[in-house]
Amino acid sequence: MRFPPRLKSKVSVRHIFMKINQLPELFVKALPVLQTLEQAGFEAYFVGGCVRDLLLGRHIHDVDITTNAYPEEVKKCFDRTIDTGIQHGTVTALYGGESYEITTYRTESGYQDFRRPDKVTFVQNLDEDLKRRDFTINALAMNTKGEIVDLFHGLDDLDKKVIRAVGVAEERFHEDALRMMRAVRFMSQLQFSLEGRTRQAIVDNHELLSKISIERVREEFVKMGTGPDARRAFAEFLDTGLSEECPHLAGKKDQLTVFTSLKASPSSERVLWSLIVILLNLPEKAIGGFMKDWKNSNAMTRKVKGIAAAFDKLGQSPSDVDLFEMGALNLNDAIDAAFILGQPVDSKTLLDRYQKLPIKDSDDLAIDGRWLIAQGVRPGPKMGTLLNDIKTKVINGDLVNSELAIAKYVSQQL
Ligand code: ATP
Ligand code: MG
């Protein structure tokens, strides 16, 4: 790690084009953090997504701070800190019941493998830190007075609603190919378009996405797929060739194009994955492999299998037992998927029928295996069949869910 001599920052008034007079609560609460650094003789700015979202009037989930103080110096300014990513210059300061990520101005260099830099170098200049950022709208900083520092016309681009790479797009995607996925993800989340040269650079370099770990691609894919403009972003994901570099999506453009004319954006990550497996027409036994290759969790895979199976059943007049087996969550998600796909089902009737089921879960059954044994039923496969038979009869309303009624039924079977 190189520690350059401390210089006065080169940010000049000519780079300040706008001043926010009324800062939202989240920023006001964080002001003392910046002021603490300033009082210790350092520079400090709000930076990146939080400044962008402030200007767009979007919900802000956290504020990031950038400073010319080195991590050890940041730590001395606050009573409680966590070394979150100290080798990259990030320290988390705990202040006023909140936590703030404070990152030292840095540049990145030596992107040998199209992903993540080999070397992070601390710099003393905000300009250089902003230069390493991906898009002009993400390269905005704001000081304690609410003045916005904009070196790359990010404010114009916010106005024009475009995603434009900082500097030469081609070079920036060579440095870190994930940025191409980030471009389409921001398109969806912000309802922006890709600036022409930025788009062309994605078309020309989409193959580089294959160098990026699936986990990082997945994170951006999910944000893209569930954002408000998922359909238009997905169209670019397909048209630029990015989808060709993703697990199981290569050569599937025709099937996936349906995504671009969905009735609405998928409402959750699990509905997104379910729609993808439905569009790809994956049989139940192929869903596991697909989800695994996208490095999804087993829990997510289970949910998606459940929703996809429920969706199949919706198209085949589901019985009460089918509804019981789906469960409320899968039923709701499958109805949602059908609506999004423009194949609406009679959801009111289905949900009414579900609500009226005598039991919603096997645990709701008045009896269990142990109870059957106590009634003189011998443990074994036959007992399993009997238990299942009782459950089906109860669900269908052919048997009352009470010990008394079930005991009578069992005695007739023995
Ligand atoms: P979100 O609202 O999703 O958190 P964000 O813009 O804050 O959006 P982050 O991934 O949290 O996105 O990154 C914070 C900031 O770090 C970005 O605004 C951008 O300035 C910079 N950044 C993040 N990832 C990259 C990258 N791969 N290349 C260049 N700059 C990046
Ligand atoms: Mg962020």
- Three-state DSSP at 369 gives helix
Question: What's the whole-number mean pLDDT along residues 137-163?
Answer: 97
* Residue appearing with tokens 């701070």: 65
Contact assessment for residue 270 and residue 307, using Cβ atoms and an 8 Å cutoff = yes
Q: Which residue has the higher pLDDT, 17 or 402?
A: 402
Ligand whose nearest atom lies closest to the CA of 212: 1
Q: Whose CA is nearest to atom 28 of ligand 1?
A: 134
Residue 2 has pLDDT above 60, yes or no: no
Residue 10 has pLDDT above 60, yes or no: no
Instruction: Identify the pLDDT of residue 103.
Output: 97
- Report how far residue 348's alpha carbon sits from residue 325's, in angstroms, rounded to the nearest whole number: 18
Instruction: Identify the pLDDT of residue 401.
Output: 97
Question: What's the whole-number mean pLDDT along residues 186-206?
Answer: 98
Q: Whose CA is nearest to atom 7 of ligand 1?
A: 49
Percent of the chain residues topping a pLDDT of 70: 95
Question: What's the whole-number mean pLDDT along residues 177-206?
Answer: 98
pLDDT digits (tens, 9 = 90+) for 249-304: 999 999 999 999 999 999 999 999 999 999 999 999 999 999 999 999 999 999 99
Q: How far is CA 44 from CA 111, 129, 235, in A?
A: 27, 12, 39
Any idea what DSSP says for residue 176?
-
Ligand 2 centroid to Cα of residue 49, in Å, is 5
Ligand 1 centroid to Cα of residue 64, in Å, is 10
Ligand 1 neighbours, Cβ below 6 Å, are 48-49, 64, 133-134, 138-139, 176, 178-179
Question: What's the whole-number mean pLDDT along residues 231-253?
Answer: 98
Confidence of residue 4 (pLDDT cuts 50, 70, 90): low
- Report how far residue 101's alpha carbon sits from residue 235's, in angstroms, rounded to the nearest whole number: 34
Ligand 1 centroid to Cα of residue 251, in Å, is 30
Ligand 1 atom at minimum distance from 61 CA: 2
Instruction: Identify the pLDDT of residue 11.
Output: 61
Residue 235 has pLDDT above 90, yes or no: yes
Residue 184 has pLDDT above 90, yes or no: yes
Ligand whose nearest atom lies closest to the CA of 51: 1
Instruction: Identify the pLDDT of residue 109.
Output: 72
Instruction: Identify the pLDDT of residue 173.
Output: 97
| Residues near ligand 2 ion, CB 5 Å cutoff | 49
Instruction: Identify the pLDDT of residue 5.
Output: 61
Instruction: Identify the pLDDT of residue 176.
Output: 95
Residue 148 has pLDDT above 80, yes or no: yes
Contacts of 349 (CB under 8 A, 6+ apart): none
- Report how far residue 128's alpha carbon sits from residue 104's, in angstroms, rounded to the nearest whole number: 11
pLDDT averaged over the chain?
94
Q: Which residue has the higher pLDDT, 117 or 100?
A: 100
Confidence of residue 344 (pLDDT cuts 50, 70, 90): confident
Q: Whose CA is nearest to atom 1 of ligand 1?
A: 49
- Pairing status of strand 16-19 against strand 162-163: unpaired
Secondary structure, 3-state, 308-351: HHHHHHHCCCCCHHHHHHHHHHHHHHHHHHHHHCCCCCCHHHHH
Count of other CB atoms within 10 angstroms of residue 346: 11
Confidence of residue 155 (pLDDT cuts 50, 70, 90): very high
Ligand 1 atom at minimum distance from 176 CA: 27
Ligand 1 atom at minimum distance from 223 CA: 3
Residue 105 has pLDDT above 70, yes or no: yes
Ligand 1 atom at minimum distance from 50 CA: 7
Ligand 2 centroid to Cα of residue 65, in Å, is 11
pLDDT digits (tens, 9 = 90+) for 24-75: 999 999 999 999 999 999 999 999 999 999 999 999 999 999 999 999 999 9
Question: What's the whole-number mean pLDDT along residues 132-159?
Answer: 96
Q: Which residues pair with 46 in a beta bridge?
A: 65, 142
- Report how far residue 225's alpha carbon sits from residue 407's, in angstroms, rounded to the nearest whole number: 52
Residue 111 has pLDDT above 80, yes or no: no
- Report how far residue 313's alpha carbon sits from residue 322's, in angstroms, rounded to the nearest whole number: 7
Confidence of residue 12 (pLDDT cuts 50, 70, 90): low
Confidence of residue 3 (pLDDT cuts 50, 70, 90): low
Any idea what DSSP says for residue 45?
E
Instruction: Identify the pLDDT of residue 13.
Output: 58
Least confident window among 11-25, 36-50, 129-143:
11-25
State which of 133, 158, 164 you would mutate to test the pocket of ligand 1, scoring each by most atoms of that ligand within 8 A of its C-beta: 133
H or E segment and range at residue 91: strand 90-95
Confidence of residue 21 (pLDDT cuts 50, 70, 90): confident
Instruction: Identify the pLDDT of residue 414.
Output: 76
Percent of the chain residues topping a pLDDT of 90: 89
- Pairing status of strand 90-95 against strand 81-85: antiparallel
